[in-house]
A = this chain, B = another copy of it.
Amino acid sequence: MNIGEAAKTSGVSAKMIRYYEQTGLIPKADRRDSGYRDYSPADVHMLRFIRRARDLGFAVAEINELLSLWRDKSRQSADVKRIAQAHIAQLRERIDSLEQMAATLGTLADCCAGDDRPDCPILADLEEPGDGASASGPFTSKTGRLRHRP
Protein backbone atom coordinates (compact mmCIF):
# COMPACT_ATOMS: atom_id res chain seq x y z
CA MET A 1 0.00 0.00 0.00
CA ASN A 2 1.35 3.37 -1.04
CA ILE A 3 1.69 6.18 1.42
CA GLY A 4 -1.08 8.03 -0.37
CA GLU A 5 -3.49 5.17 0.03
CA ALA A 6 -2.45 4.71 3.63
CA ALA A 7 -3.05 8.40 4.19
CA LYS A 8 -6.51 8.25 2.67
CA THR A 9 -7.61 5.18 4.59
CA SER A 10 -6.09 6.27 7.89
CA GLY A 11 -6.97 9.94 7.78
CA VAL A 12 -3.39 10.94 8.50
CA SER A 13 -1.81 12.99 5.74
CA ALA A 14 1.17 11.55 3.88
CA LYS A 15 3.19 14.49 5.12
CA MET A 16 2.42 13.62 8.70
CA ILE A 17 3.07 9.94 8.21
CA ARG A 18 6.58 10.75 7.07
CA TYR A 19 6.96 13.18 9.95
CA TYR A 20 5.83 10.60 12.49
CA GLU A 21 8.30 8.15 11.04
CA GLN A 22 11.07 10.70 11.13
CA THR A 23 10.46 11.58 14.74
CA GLY A 24 10.23 7.95 15.77
CA LEU A 25 6.58 7.90 16.74
CA ILE A 26 6.09 5.07 14.28
CA PRO A 27 8.71 2.59 13.07
CA LYS A 28 10.32 3.03 9.68
CA ALA A 29 8.09 1.73 6.96
CA ASP A 30 9.18 -1.09 4.67
CA ARG A 31 10.42 0.05 1.29
CA ARG A 32 9.82 -1.39 -2.10
CA ASP A 33 12.58 -1.62 -4.67
CA SER A 34 11.53 1.75 -6.00
CA GLY A 35 12.07 3.31 -2.63
CA TYR A 36 8.35 3.79 -2.07
CA ARG A 37 7.14 3.18 1.45
CA ASP A 38 4.92 0.14 1.78
CA TYR A 39 2.17 -0.08 4.38
CA SER A 40 0.28 -3.07 5.69
CA PRO A 41 -3.28 -2.97 7.04
CA ALA A 42 -1.76 -3.22 10.52
CA ASP A 43 0.21 -0.05 9.86
CA VAL A 44 -2.93 1.71 8.77
CA HIS A 45 -4.59 0.49 11.92
CA MET A 46 -1.84 2.11 13.95
CA LEU A 47 -2.15 5.31 12.00
CA ARG A 48 -5.85 5.44 12.69
CA PHE A 49 -5.09 4.92 16.37
CA ILE A 50 -2.81 7.93 16.23
CA ARG A 51 -5.32 9.98 14.38
CA ARG A 52 -8.01 9.21 16.88
CA ALA A 53 -5.74 10.08 19.78
CA ARG A 54 -4.85 13.39 18.17
CA ASP A 55 -8.53 14.07 17.71
CA LEU A 56 -8.94 13.51 21.42
CA GLY A 57 -6.33 16.15 22.04
CA PHE A 58 -3.46 13.94 23.12
CA ALA A 59 -0.05 15.39 22.47
CA VAL A 60 2.30 13.33 20.39
CA ALA A 61 4.40 12.54 23.44
CA GLU A 62 1.33 11.15 25.16
CA ILE A 63 0.44 9.17 22.08
CA ASN A 64 3.87 7.65 22.26
CA GLU A 65 3.04 6.37 25.73
CA LEU A 66 -0.34 5.12 24.61
CA LEU A 67 1.18 3.38 21.61
CA SER A 68 3.63 1.42 23.69
CA LEU A 69 0.82 0.35 25.99
CA TRP A 70 -1.22 -0.55 22.96
CA ARG A 71 1.55 -2.70 21.57
CA ASP A 72 2.22 -4.30 24.91
CA LYS A 73 -0.29 -7.10 25.30
CA SER A 74 0.45 -7.46 28.98
CA ARG A 75 -0.24 -3.80 29.66
CA GLN A 76 -2.19 -2.80 32.68
CA SER A 77 -5.33 -0.89 32.04
CA ALA A 78 -4.48 1.19 35.09
CA ASP A 79 -1.61 2.76 33.19
CA VAL A 80 -3.84 3.76 30.34
CA LYS A 81 -6.43 5.08 32.72
CA ARG A 82 -3.84 7.18 34.48
CA ILE A 83 -2.70 8.78 31.24
CA ALA A 84 -6.26 9.41 30.18
CA GLN A 85 -7.17 11.00 33.48
CA ALA A 86 -4.13 13.23 33.46
CA HIS A 87 -5.13 14.34 30.02
CA ILE A 88 -8.68 14.99 31.14
CA ALA A 89 -7.33 17.21 33.91
CA GLN A 90 -5.31 19.15 31.35
CA LEU A 91 -8.37 19.57 29.19
CA ARG A 92 -10.37 20.85 32.15
CA GLU A 93 -7.75 23.45 32.94
CA ARG A 94 -7.81 24.76 29.43
CA ILE A 95 -11.56 24.75 29.34
CA ASP A 96 -11.61 26.81 32.52
CA SER A 97 -9.24 29.35 31.06
CA LEU A 98 -11.23 29.66 27.89
CA GLU A 99 -14.46 29.99 29.80
CA GLN A 100 -13.01 32.76 31.89
CA MET A 101 -11.96 34.57 28.76
CA ALA A 102 -15.33 34.13 27.12
CA ALA A 103 -17.13 35.24 30.26
CA THR A 104 -15.04 38.37 30.54
CA LEU A 105 -15.55 39.24 26.92
CA GLY A 106 -19.22 38.42 27.11
CA THR A 107 -19.72 40.78 30.01
CA LEU A 108 -17.87 43.50 28.23
CA ALA A 109 -19.77 43.01 25.01
CA ASP A 110 -23.05 43.11 26.91
CA CYS A 111 -22.08 46.45 28.37
CA CYS A 112 -21.14 47.70 24.94
CA ALA A 113 -23.73 49.81 23.17
CA GLY A 114 -22.48 48.64 19.82
CA ASP A 115 -23.44 51.80 18.08
CA ASP A 116 -21.41 54.50 16.37
CA ARG A 117 -20.23 56.18 19.53
CA PRO A 118 -16.57 55.81 20.32
CA ASP A 119 -17.19 54.92 23.94
CA CYS A 120 -16.45 51.27 24.19
CA PRO A 121 -16.18 49.34 27.43
CA ILE A 122 -14.27 46.61 25.68
CA LEU A 123 -11.45 48.90 24.72
CA ALA A 124 -11.67 50.58 28.09
CA ASP A 125 -11.19 47.26 29.81
CA LEU A 126 -8.29 46.38 27.59
CA GLU A 127 -6.70 49.63 28.60
CA GLU A 128 -7.31 49.20 32.27
CA PRO A 129 -8.77 45.88 33.34
CA GLY A 130 -11.87 46.28 35.46
CA ASP A 131 -12.66 44.28 38.55
CA GLY A 132 -16.04 42.92 37.63
CA ALA A 133 -15.26 40.34 35.03
CA SER A 134 -11.56 40.47 35.26
CA ALA A 135 -9.74 37.67 33.60
CA SER A 136 -6.36 38.48 34.97
CA GLY A 137 -6.50 35.87 37.66
CA PRO A 138 -5.87 32.28 36.73
CA PHE A 139 -4.36 32.82 33.35
CA THR A 140 -1.53 35.24 33.25
CA SER A 141 0.76 35.08 30.31
CA LYS A 142 1.31 31.43 29.73
CA THR A 143 -1.99 29.72 30.32
CA GLY A 144 -5.04 29.38 28.22
CA ARG A 145 -3.59 30.58 25.03
CA LEU A 146 -4.56 28.53 22.07
CA ARG A 147 -2.49 27.21 19.34
CA HIS A 148 -2.99 28.76 15.97
CA ARG A 149 -5.01 26.45 13.81
CA PRO A 150 -4.19 26.83 10.10
Residue of B nearest to A11 (CB): B141
CB atoms of B49 and A120 under 8 A apart: no
Residue of B nearest to A143 (CB): B149
Bound-complex Cα distance A52 to B92 (A) = 22
Q: Is the interface of A mostly helix, strand, loop or mixed?
A: helix
Cross-interface CB contact of A135 among B49, B56, B139, cutoff 8 Å: B56
| Interface size counted on chain A using CB atoms at 8 A | 72
Interface string of A64-102 (1 = CB under 8 A from B): 001001100111111011101101100110110111011
Q: Does A118 count as interface, using CB distance less than 8 angstroms?
A: yes
Q: Does A1 count as interface, using CB distance less than 8 angstroms?
A: no
Bound-complex Cα distance A135 to B58 (A) = 13
Expressed in whole angstroms, the minimum distance between the Cβ of A140 and any Cβ of chain B is 7
CB atoms of B75 and A88 under 8 A apart: no
The residues in A between 26 and 60 inclusive whose CB is less than 8 angstroms from any CB of B are 45, 48-49, 51-57, 59
Q: Which residues of B lie under 8 Å from residue A11 when comparing CB positions? A: 140-141
